Amino acid sequence: MFEYFYNEVLRRTVIGFGTLFNDITIKHSDSGSTLSVMKVPLAYGPTQKFLARIEQTPQLNKPTSITLPRMSFEFTGLTYDPSRKVSQTQTFLSKKVDSTSTIKKAYMPVPYNMAFELSIMTKLNDDALQIVEQILPYFQPAYNITIQMVGEINEKRDIPIILDSVTFTDDYEGDFSSRRALIYTLRFTAKTYLFGPTPDQTTGIIKKATLNYMTNTDVKNPRRELRYTVTPRATKNYVGDASAYLDEDIESTETILTLTTTTPFSEETYVTINSEELFIESITGNNLKVRRGQDGTIAVDHVQGSGVNILNTADDALIEVGDDFGFNETTSFYQDFSTDMS
């Protein structure tokens, strides 16, 4: 059931959240002139650790001591989000970043909410207000960041970061040797997704499927009455070889096409004109009687000189994983006894 994989989704979400707040600055000014500009340090870790450092060495003012203002953030929880759930068996296909042919298949990701806390610690109230005011306007209440979920297939998603609450405490109690700490705590929720493993998709297109219908229960010598066979049939031209050209404009409702030649064509076959697929019912001279808009394509107007492409076995062989395709169907009747079960 389990196999090793590591998409680094949680790690990248934590890093993405932290980068939102790593370029905040505060300014001290007097009478309109700027006295100092300071970039607020940001670190990962719980607020209690930083407060303990401040309380244990309140007299330190060396560069190596804890200085204020300062910000810290912490990943505090992970919960499943049923409101964003999709089908458990739904999959999607994608090509590997370093390959043009290898297909990777993955199940749809599982939605999870990551809880974060951002703490802002300052000594001066004005410093705290400057920092908070640089953050809050961007969350209404969400701000989207783009995160690469699965690097192997370059899967990227926009992750909403939602601001849930803002609380404030002022730790001013104590004697004159105690350092004051103004603390704003901002709580966020990141709506991320967790992806499973992405194995190579090597099965490709099934080239033929056969179903036999039997008339008795003798498994050693069954009587096979009917065989039904289907093979994939291309619904678009992969080869790119125009076999003829329209000799006049046609509208979307016309079913008679006049071509420059009908020699390469045969009845009860498929052709394409631009992105429309057509079925040839009959051929008379240089005219084709057709059924328009086959296999979900749309009948549209086409201008004189448009190429008419035959869909043949060369196109069938080039069907790629993930493409739409139709089926060629044949039915055969048998009245003999046979042990061939294939």
Q: What is the DSSP string of 69-127?
A: SEEEEEEEEEEE-GGG---TT-EEEEE-TT-SS-EEEEEPPEEEEEEEEEEEEESSHHH
pLDDT of residue 141: 87
Select the more confidently predicted residue: 295 or 136.
136
pLDDT tens-digit series, residues 333-342: 655 544 444 4
How many whole angstroms separate alpha carbon 229 and alpha carbon 212? 9
Would the pLDDT of 312 be above 80? yes
Residue 135 has pLDDT above 90, yes or no: yes
Distance CA 272, CA 309 (A): 5
pLDDT at residue 301 greater than cutoff 90: yes
In angstroms, the first-to-last Cα distance of the chain is: 32
Contact between 175 and 33 under an 8 Å Cβ cutoff? The reply is no
CB–CB of 264/310 below 8 Å? yes
Instruction: Say if residue 139's pLDDT is above 90.
Output: yes
Answer yes or no: is pLDDT of 196 > 90: no
Mean pLDDT over 249-266 rounds to 91
pLDDT over 90 percentage in the chain: 36
CB-CB contact of 328 with 221 (8 Å)? no
Choice between 177 and 189, residue whose per-residue pLDDT is larger? 189
Predicted pLDDT at 148: 87
Encode burial over 33-42: b for 16+ CB neighbours within 10 A, e otherwise. Answer: eeeeeeebeb
Q: Which of 155-159, 236-240, 241-245 has the lowest mean pLDDT?
A: 236-240
Contact 261, 244 (CB under 8 A): yes
Tokens 């783009």 correspond to what residue?
Answer: 146
Quote the pLDDT of residue 222: 57
Residue 81: per-residue pLDDT: 92
Domain residues of the chain, as ranges?
9-201, 209-333
Does residue 186 carry a pLDDT above 90? yes
Domain 9-201, CATH among 3.40.50.720, 3.30.2000.40, 1.10.1040.10, 3.90.230.10: 3.30.2000.40
Question: In this predicted model, what pLDDT tens digit does every residue of 63-111 receive, in sequence order?
Answer: 444 578 889 999 999 999 998 887 665 666 666 556 555 566 667 889 9
Is pTM beyond 0.85? Reply is no
Across the beta sheet with 110-122, the strand order is 42-44, 70-80, 110-122, 181-194, 155-171, 142-150
* Averaged pLDDT of the chain: 79
